[in-house]
A and B are shown apart, each in its own frame.
Chain A
Amino acid sequence: MQIVSLTMLQSVVDLNTPPPYADNTTLWHHITGSLHQSLLNVLSLLLAILPGLLALVVALAIFTLIGMAFSALLRWGLTAVKFDERLARGRTSLDWAPTTSPTELTARVSFWACVLLGLLIGVSAFDASYATATMQTGALLPYLTRIVGGALLLIAGTLVARFLARSVLIGAVNAQLEYARFLSLGVKWLVLVLTAATVLDHLQIGGVVVELAFGILFGGIVLTLALAVGLGSRDLVSRSLESHTEHPGEPNPIHHTSIPEESIRHF
């Protein structure tokens, strides 16, 4: 197939119109020769990686179909054995329990596992054909893996940042800290900066610059938080200290920050 294509290209080049300037025939020949060579290289590379690309698409399509069939089979089978009801009978209050039904979840997981498998096989085939065509070591797949790893890190980091920010916000509000939102934002950005630095480091982008920038940013956020919390709590701390040193017998004047339980009993 490659030979046929090259012959066709040769014939196309032969049919080209003659150079407009007869005096510069040599130059023109050089240019056309170079262009011809480049075109040949590109086309031959394309032709070489086409099977790999085709293999990627075919692998993905086949495994998607397998996944669809497998998930439909699982859904049917689990519904037939009343999997959800059986699981619900032994159910306790699990905080991590998913929203969707177990049958649906199993079917979806199996489908996406098949798709992922197809993608991996396809990328492997594509990478092998690309490496053969370029006569270089296979560098595409490792970097693709890094990109996928980086994306996963980014997603996990964002989720963790949001979770921690909410935890801190709710905890701080229930502890009646006036700077609850600021504290929550600080924690969120700390985790996001850490995530960004980790992702860039994972992708091998930036090198020392990223490390330096991360150090400066992280330290800056921590310092800002410490200053804000320290300054924000200055009155609270001073009043607390005063109450303990000057009037040890009197009730704490900062009682407005904690709910007394002398006469109110919640439980």
Chain B
Amino acid sequence: MATANPIPEATTSSAKAGSGLLVLISAMPAEQRESVLANLAAAYPQQEMLVASPDPQPEEMRPWLRFIPAPASKVNWTLTAADFVSAFQLAEKNQARAILMLGPESGALSVGELRSLARAVLSDQIDLALPCYALPPYAGLFNSALLYPLTRALFASRVRFPLAPDLGMSLRMAQSMAIVAQKFTAANQGETPVWPVNEATVAGFAIEQFPVSPQPQSHSNRPDLNTILPFVTGPLFSDIEVKAAYWQRFRPLPPPFHAPTSPDLHGADAAMEIAPMLQAFRLAHTNLQEIWSLVLPPNSLLGLKRLSTVTDAATFRISDNLWARIVYDFLLAYRLRTLNRGHLLGALIPLYLAWVASHINITASGIDPERHIEEQAAAFEAEKPYMVSRWRWPDRFNP
């Protein structure tokens, strides 16, 4: 029986693109896509380029841009396993040398930024090129609280946005990602996020990040925090578990990368919003003791108890070390399956909200948000021996 090929045969003849670059654009509104295409055309004028998109071909034709259909992704706000598999398949069929994957908000990337990302992966020296977004102080908080510190502490990488929706990959990096992603797609888990920074670090590939302009603040088609946090954290914890042999060894960090910042437009509003977060934390402290006590050691529980009694919202601070240990303990409980993983990650949400409230308070007191994020990441590094120790001997007494 003949099986349907998701990639049309016609695309194979369109090989040998001038630049050897395959640009994979995720589904996005027509105006956004037009902006991306205009920037791409400006970045590589008159050069033949393959553009793969799940959206229909635009009416305005640019003869040097060859359009090929790409499978639509179920999750469009981040790159998933299915995206990486299809990216590599398309690149291989069209003999592309490098891949540029652009997310739904990539219309904000300037010509120079697109060129930097593409040039890096086409140069054969960089395998993974990632943007470092200039976000407002209170944006990308989950990345600052968990993804960045964990990636930095465990994989010795300073990539500020490990789950960036836009990235550039060399062909060998794409192949490596496709191999990993294939396991998920084969298990019908194609919408699972995969972790290019972790893969590149373990494989010894060269990673580079480039500062990019502020991203637009849209909230369209994004599930809420209760859905996103387990969706992202679960695969990250699984990936860390799989790569335990790598990160348990000490590795030096690359030199610091100064992340660009954008002006604080909502500082006062954010300070107003910590009250519901603290309320969520206190409610959770009253009700989730039984679950937290399965995961956290007595010392951390005591720290949380003290935090729950803080009455003045403005003085609420969760110490960097406590947050680092909480995340590590949840990671350990995830590995040990102390309780159902869905429950475990659900129980992390109020603690994350407490961290957000604390971060807002700290930055409201005049400390630069980026400095606090770096201090937080440094605390994760400092607590890594605790994590390694508990990972190796989980039954040993813990403080």
Contacts and interface: CB of A to CB of B under 8 A. Distances in A.
Which of A88, A171, A259 has the most chain B CB atoms inside 10 A of its CB?
A: A259
A172 B347 CA distance: 11
Interface residues of B, number: 58
Interface in B120-154: 135-136, 138-143
Interface string A89-105: 01111110111000000
B280 A176 contact: yes
Q: Is the interface of B mostly helix, strand, loop or mixed?
A: helix
Interface in B184-232: 184, 187, 189, 192, 217, 219, 222, 225-226, 228-229, 232
Contacts of B343: 166-167, 170
A264 B270 CA distance: 6
Contacts of B58: none
A21 interface: no
A97 B334 CA distance: 11
Contact of A176 (B279, B339, B360): B279
A263 B136 CA distance: 9
Contact of B219 (A88, A95, A261): A261
A163 B342 CA distance: 11
Which of A88, A169, A174 has the most chain B CB atoms inside 10 A of its CB?
A: A174
Contacts of B360: 264
A260 interface: yes
A192 B337 CA distance: 24
A95 B341 contact: yes
Contacts of B280: 173-174, 176, 259
Interface string A144-165: 0000000000000000000100
B72 interface: no
A212 to B, nearest CB: 34
Contacts of A258: 276
A93 B233 CA distance: 11
A256 B276 CA distance: 5
Q: Is the interface of A mostly helix, strand, loop or mixed?
A: loop
B310 interface: no
Nearest to A261: B219
A173 B283 contact: yes
Contacts of B225: 259, 266
Contact of B189 (A92, A166, A262): A92
B287 A264 contact: no
Interface in A238-267: 255-267
Given A176-B279, A265-B141, A166 B273 contact: no
A119 interface: no
Interface in B160-202: 183-184, 187, 189, 192
A53 interface: no
Given A93-B238, A262-B266, A169 B287 contact: yes
Contact of B346 (A93, A170, A184, A257): A170
Contact of B235 (A88, A93, A173, A255): A93
A263 B238 contact: no
Contact of A170 (B143, B337, B347): B347
Interface stretch (B88-96, B348-356, B382-390): B348-356
A259 B337 contact: no
A166 to B, nearest CB: 5
A181 interface: yes
B38 to A, nearest CB: 27
B48 to A, nearest CB: 35
Contacts of B284: 173-174
B180 to A, nearest CB: 9
Interface in A174-208: 174-176, 178, 180-181, 184
Interface in B243-274: 265-267, 269-270, 273
Given A263-B269, A265-B139, A170 B291 contact: yes
Contacts of A99: 336-337
A229 B336 CA distance: 36
Nearest to B181: A92
Interface in A55-94: 88, 90-94
Which of A95, A173, A175 has the most chain B CB atoms inside 10 A of its CB?
A: A173
B142 A256 contact: no
Given A93-B192, A170-B291, A256 B275 contact: yes
B325 to A, nearest CB: 21
A170 B288 contact: yes
7 contacts: A91-B242, A92-B187, A95-B340, A167-B342, A167-B343, A263-B138, A266-B225
Given A92-B238, A258-B276, 6 more contacts: A91-B183, A92-B189, A170-B347, A256-B275, A259-B225, A263-B136
